[in-house]
Amino acid sequence: MNRALHETCHRMGKLRILVTNPEVHQKAIELLQERYEVDICTELPYPTREQILQRISGTDGVLWCSKVKVDSEMLDKAGPTLKVLATMSAGYDHIDVEELKARGIKFGNTPYVLSAAVAEVAVLLCLATARRLHEGRLKIETNNWESYRPQWLMGQDIQGSTVGIVGFGGIGQAIAKRLIPFEVKQIIYSGHSPKPQAKEFGAVFVSFDELLRHSDFVIIVCPLNEETKGMFNEEAFNKMKPNAILVNVARGGIVDQPALYEALKQGKIFGAGLDVMIPEPLPTDSPLLSLPNCVLLPHVGSATVKTRTAMAVLAAENIIAALEGKPMPAPV
C-alpha cells in the first residue's frame, strides 16, 4: 500500500512525508501539507516500532517524533527515496547519525527552541530538591507535620551556592541566566573547552573533577554519547560534597542509577532531581521511587505549548529546506 501511495504521490508531482506521531502540532502538519503528501502514524498513545516500519517505506522525508531507534533496519525499510529525516528533539542518541551520513540522508534536530523550557525545569528541580518538596509532601500525606521543631525539614540554599553545569551549550547558558537572580556565589562549568559566552554569566571553566568537588548543585545538560555514558558513577558521587544536589535534564544514561540510589540512600549527596532516567517510563518498582530525597519528573523538560509547537515547526522547516535544496535551519 505504501508503494502504491508513493507512486501516486509522484504522479501528482508530490513528495511523500511521514510524521511518526499523531500529536505533532497542526502548524507543522499544515506547513508540510502545503507542499507534500503527508502520511501520519495515527496509533495512540504512540506508534510502535513495528507500526512505523509498516508505514515508512517509500517516503521522501520523515518528521521523527518517537523514542524508537532509527537504525539500519529502519532506513532499509524506508528505502532509497528517503532524502531527509528531522527529529523533533534536541538530543539524537536514538538516531544512528553515521548511518544517515553514509546513505547521504540529511538530518536535522530542534535545538535552542527548547532551551528556555528545559532551563526552567532544571531550576525547578534545583529548588524542589533543595527545599525537600517531595519529602514534605510525604509528610503531609502521612500526617507527620513537625513544624514546631526548628530543625525540621532543613533544606539547602541556592543563594550563595556554587552551581556546576556539565555542558555549557544553549540549555546550560539558559540555566545560568535564570540562576543569576537567585544570587548564586559562582557558576562553574565543564566540557571539552571554554565557551566565549561564559563571560556573560561570569561562569568559570573547570575540569570535571573540580566541578564535582566544589559544586553545591550539579546540573547535567551534556549530550549522551560514549564519552558521557555512565559518567556519574560511584567514583563521581564519592567526589561530590555531602550537601550537593544532582539535577539531570539531559539523558538518563549519563547517570549510573544504581550508584545514584546508593549515594542518596547512604547520604553521600543531599538529593537528586531527575527529569530523565532509565528506562522511560520508569518502572513503578524502581528503587528511586522509595527515596524521599529524590524528586522525579516524567521527562517533561520541553513540555510547554509554546515550546513543543516551535519544535514541531522547526522540524518541518528542516524537512522543507532539505527537500528544496536550501540550508536546513538546524542541521546536525
Specify burial of residue 178 (Cβ count, 10 A radius: 0-12, 13-18, 19+): middle
CB contact at 8 A, 65 and 18: no
CB contact at 8 A, 293 and 272: yes
Q: At what angle do helices 305-323 and 115-130 cross, to 10 degrees?
A: 150
Q: Read off the pLDDT of residues 287-304 as tens digits, 9 standing for 90 and up.
A: 999 999 999 999 999 999
Q: Which fold has domain 114-144+153-296?
A: Rossmann fold (3.40.50)
214: annotated active-site residue: no
Residues of the chain with CATH 3.40.50.720: 16-90+305-324, 114-144+153-296
pLDDT at residue 4, as a whole number = 52
CA distance 291 to 97: 37
pLDDT of 271 > 60? The answer is: yes
For residue 147, name the pLDDT band (cuts at 50, 70, 90).
confident
pLDDT at residue 188, as a whole number = 98
pLDDT of 99 > 50? The answer is: yes
CA 94 to chain centre: 11
pLDDT at residue 1, as a whole number = 41
- Average pLDDT of the chain, as a whole number: 95
Q: Read off the pLDDT of residues 111-134 as tens digits, 9 standing for 90 and up.
A: 999 999 999 999 999 999 999 999
CATH number attached to the domain at 16-90+305-324? 3.40.50.720
Parallel, antiparallel or unpaired: strands 217-220 and 204-205: unpaired
More reliable by pLDDT, 198 or 5: 198
pLDDT of 9 > 60? The answer is: no
CA distance 239 to 179: 24
pLDDT of 2 > 60? The answer is: no
pTM of the model: 0.91
pLDDT of 15 > 90? The answer is: yes
pLDDT at residue 148, as a whole number = 84
CB contact at 8 A, 79 and 57: yes
Query: 253: which 3 cell numbers?
Result: 544514561
Paired residues of 186 in beta bridges = 162
